[in-house]
Amino acid sequence: MPESHPAPERFPVTVDVVALTVRDGELNVLLITRLIEPFRGKLALPGGFVLAGEDLLEAAGRELAEETGVEHLPGHLEQLGSYGPKGRDPRGDVLTVAHLLLAPDFPVLAAGSDAEQAAWYPVAEVPELAFDHARILDDALERAKAKLEYSPLGAAFCGEEFTIAQLRAVYEAVWGTRLDPRNFHRKATGTPGFLEEAGRMTTGDAGRPAALFRLAPEARPTAGQPTRAVLNPPLMRPRD
Amino acid sequence: MPESHPAPERFPVTVDVVALTVRDGELNVLLITRLIEPFRGKLALPGGFVLAGEDLLEAAGRELAEETGVEHLPGHLEQLGSYGPKGRDPRGDVLTVAHLLLAPDFPVLAAGSDAEQAAWYPVAEVPELAFDHARILDDALERAKAKLEYSPLGAAFCGEEFTIAQLRAVYEAVWGTRLDPRNFHRKATGTPGFLEEAGRMTTGDAGRPAALFRLAPEARPTAGQPTRAVLNPPLMRPRD
DNA sequence: CGGCATTATTGTCAACATGACGATAAGTAC
DNA sequence: GTACTTATCGTCATGTTGACAATAATGCCG
């Protein structure tokens, strides 16, 4: 790796997080409003500088917790990719490592008046973003769509237990399609290593009560480890 | 993104490259022998520091070119992921952005006696590696296997034109499986947007001559752009 | 040249997966 | 109860996959 004698260049390194959730059938992304230049007043992805002695995922989790006021983040956090360092910040070269959070809907605390306010925005109506965050968001959406096809991570958008219909709503929101409830039910319950039955749902929902499911043990993250589990065969999104 | 007043930490940033190729039916990886501490004498992935004003892919390509003596790299280069910065280099925190090159076999120039010698090693017999490069190699192999399933990038291991059998040899080497030549032929030639016929192969090879193919236009990288093309339906590797 | 070994390519067939959609089940709202 | 709503099961035609037979087109060897 290193071999050259001149002192290596050093770069400021940030982590950004594309946090996605599904609220009333729509895919939402968490954004903050910038209070300082550059891009003051614009929306941006939550994130911040990596501190000495921190690892990337750690930093991403910390920044997200700080900016949402949420102690323990729900859902699944993974690295998306790195961008830069050239020409993405007008103040100079900054390398950013983008991350992706797939999470059930969680409330964002109101920030103090001097803090950047984080809030959920439907991805369909996201206005212009600061820096190269539009591109990062694009990549994140594509990654999320792909993840749903071949991994059990659609369930990361749901709570511990969920109905097939709730899971289907996730797929529909992320993919932006409608899926046949009957075929989806067959496929989701029929894929080995994906779901496991739990109890019963009664609630006051209209219609027949639905069975509750949870992730099968093989598909659950073990001790913080990401889950390499794979949906086989995959649950492919319709392409025309 | 940035908001804190204290000057942000700066990190040395390196790029490492996992360059893969197939030589006589075996998957090989390009490694260099380290000439300096730490890990002097050990094998490591080629790589080096990102320079000011460089982008990541650019730096990865430059380092690889420098360490192999090859001017124009063949194949497909993409970002794999970032590692660190905590505790992966005994000299201190270093962030590394790993890359993946899928390339046809190319000869590596002999380095001078004071330069680190790069050479191909069969992945099946790679000894201990420096730093966290074993983990990076693992991730790269998994990524390569997955890429072959749902992208046309298997062809990146072949030259411009190739036979179905050569392409199959790539799949077999990367996946470490044998595939039925007849079924593979049907699938490869039958997948829309994957292959396109070229001319004829005669050569002195034993057996019936094979037709030559090239990547279909939709699957070819356009102006350096990565090709988001997708194999649909995917060419799934056998899992038991 | 004729036969043999070798690889390529085309078919066939049963098992399985998918998309479209009908029919039933089991609740809530009135 | 009746109407409405959602869940779940079933059916059927079509497409895909894995196993494997058959044929095609060469080089090699005597």
B201 and B129 part of one domain = no
Give the model's pLDDT for residue B3.
Answer: 47
In a domain, B135, yes or no: yes
Chain B residues touching residue A13 (CB < 8 angstroms): 9-11, 13, 85, 95
In a domain, B1, yes or no: no
Final residue in a domain of this structure, among A75, A104, A130: A130
Q: What is the pLDDT of residues A135-175, one digit of tens each?
A: 999 999 999 999 999 999 999 999 999 999 999 999 999 99
Comparing B79 with B109, the larger pLDDT belongs to B79
Q: Is B100 within 8 Å of chain A by CB? A: no
Residue A46: give the domain boundaries.
Answer: 13-130
Low-confidence ranges of chain A (pLDDT < 50): 1-4
Q: Is residue B111 scored above 90 in pLDDT?
A: no
| Mean pLDDT value across residues B136-151 | 97
**A81 vs B79: CB contact, 8 Å cut-off?**
yes
B138 and B163 part of one domain = no
Give the model's pLDDT for residue A56.
Answer: 97
Percent of chain B surpassing pLDDT 90: 80
Give the model's pLDDT for residue B215.
Answer: 96
In a domain, B6, yes or no: no
A49 and A152 part of one domain = no
Integer Cα distance of A91 and A96 in angstroms = 14
Final residue in a domain of this structure, among B147, B176, B200: B147
A53 and A123 part of one domain = yes
What's the gap in Å between the CA of B123 and the closest CA on chain A?
A: 19
B182 touches strand C (CB under 7 A): yes
Final residue in a domain of this structure, among B147, B172, B203: B147
Give the model's pLDDT for residue B5.
Answer: 55
Comparing B232 with A98, the larger pLDDT belongs to A98
A164 and A85 part of one domain = no
Give the model's pLDDT for residue A5.
Answer: 55
**A35 vs B97: CB contact, 8 Å cut-off?**
no
In a domain, A99, yes or no: yes
Asked whether the beta carbons of B164 and B69 are under 8 A apart, the reply is no
**Lowest mean pLDDT: which of A112-116, A234-238, B48-52, B61-65?**
A112-116
Percent of chain B surpassing pLDDT 70: 96
Asked whether the beta carbons of A140 and A47 are under 8 A apart, the reply is no
A164 and A108 part of one domain = no
A74 and A166 part of one domain = no
B141 and B33 part of one domain = yes
Q: Is residue B166 scored above 90 in pLDDT?
A: yes
Q: Is B193 within 8 Å of chain A by CB? A: no
B206 touches strand D (CB under 7 A): yes
Comparing B226 with A31, the larger pLDDT belongs to A31
A105 and A179 part of one domain = no
Residue nearest to nucleotide C4 (CA to C1'): B207
Give the model's pLDDT for residue B6.
Answer: 64
**A2 vs B81: CB contact, 8 Å cut-off?**
no
Interface of A with B in 54-73 (CB under 8 A): 54-56, 58
| Mean pLDDT value across residues B204-218 | 91
Q: Is B40 within 8 Å of chain A by CB? A: no
B131 and B155 part of one domain = no
Confidence of residue B57 (pLDDT cuts 50, 70, 90): very high
B162 and B78 part of one domain = no
Query: What chain B residue is nearest to A131 in terms of C-alpha separation?
Result: B1
B29 and B92 part of one domain = yes
Question: Which residues are within 8 A (CB) of B160 and not within 5 positions of it... i.e. 6 or more apart?
Answer: B214
In a domain, A5, yes or no: no
| CATH number of the CATH domain containing A114 | 3.90.79.10
Q: Is A18 within 8 Å of chain B by CB? A: no
Interface of A with B in 203-232 (CB under 8 A): 228, 230, 232
| CATH number of the CATH domain containing A182 | 1.10.10.10
In chain A, how many domains are there? 2
In a domain, A97, yes or no: yes
Confidence of residue B4 (pLDDT cuts 50, 70, 90): very low
In a domain, A8, yes or no: no
Tell me which residues from 162 to 181 on chain B have a beta carbon below 7 angstroms from nucleic acid strand D: 180
In a domain, A141, yes or no: no
What DSSP string describes chain B?
----SSPPPEEEEEEEEEEEEEETTEEEEEEEE--SSSSTTSEE--EEEPPTT--HHHHHHHHHHHHHT-SS--SEEEEEEEE-STTSSTTS--EEEEEEEE----PPPPPPTTSPPEEEEEGGG---BSTTHHHHHHHHHHHHHHHHHHSGGGGGGS-SSEEHHHHHHHHHHHHT----HHHHHHHHHHSTTTEEE-----SS-SSS---EEEE-GGGS-BTTB------SS--PPP--
Give the model's pLDDT for residue A3.
Answer: 47
| Average pLDDT score, chain B | 92
